[in-house]
Chain A
Amino acid sequence: DIVMTQTPLSSPVTLGQPASISCRSSESLLNSGGNTYLGWLQQRPGHPPRLLIYKISNRFSGVPDRFSGSGAGTDFTLKISRVEAEDVGVYYCMQATQFPYTFGQGTRLEIK
């Protein structure tokens, strides 16, 4: 199985300041068709996960443009340009290139 490793595991951020989360996969997520199925999920307290970013850098429907994704191969990053109070929660990277799909351990975003 592909192992997904996130850093940091906890990120205290001041409101209005940027935040960044890294994710590394144990093998390349680029498939033979030229696609990289790397996504970022947000899970607010008491809620199910919600997709923010798919295929590295595509914002899903309804996701604010302060969220952005980048990377290639085995190294990926989620950035929040200006953190808002509603962004508090746990963020997971997820790979859907190879079954079983696997997730990072999660990064807890909290407000300082």
Chain B
Amino acid sequence: EVQLVESGGGLVKPGGSLRLSCAASGFTFSSAWMSWARQVPGRGLEWVGRIKSSTAGGTTQYAAPVKGRFTISRDDSKSMLYLQMDSLKTEDTAVYYCTIQGWDSLPPLDSWGRGTLVTVSS
């Protein structure tokens, strides 16, 4: 069974930093393109960024609102995904989800963690 478990959320002041972690299991993590998405409580979903598998170059892509402030990384030896968030703003307050979409995989793969809440407030 695919499992994604996020941790590291909490309360941080504007301008501060936070590092989120995601523990993955139940699939071949090293081959997976992993993503982070977020959701302001009671609002819609927004993609944050993704990281390709190491064999595909391990490159990252970010949505415009977080580019230059957030960094996604991975440790394939531990099946862990990370989101380093710097220069946090109040508008970054949201539930952050670790997620995978492998719609071309056999069998197809898609999963979302339960999320971790990040609150940016003074």
Contacts and interface: CB of A to CB of B under 8 A. Distances in A.
Interface stretch (A14-22, A73-81, A101-109): A101-109
Interface residues on B, range: 20 to 34
Interface in B57-75: 61-64
Interface string A47-90: 11111001100101100000000000000000000000000000
A interface, by DSSP: helix, strand, loop or mixed?
loop
B90 interface: no
Contacts of A50: 112
Contacts, number: 56
A100 B47 contact: yes
B44 A92 contact: yes
B5 to A, nearest CB: 11
B108 A60 contact: yes
A39 B58 CA distance: 25
Given A100-B61, A100-B63, A105-B44, A58 B101 contact: no
12 contacts: A37-B103, A39-B110, A48-B97, A48-B112, A50-B112, A54-B110, A55-B103, A58-B108, A92-B44, A101-B47, A103-B47, A106-B44
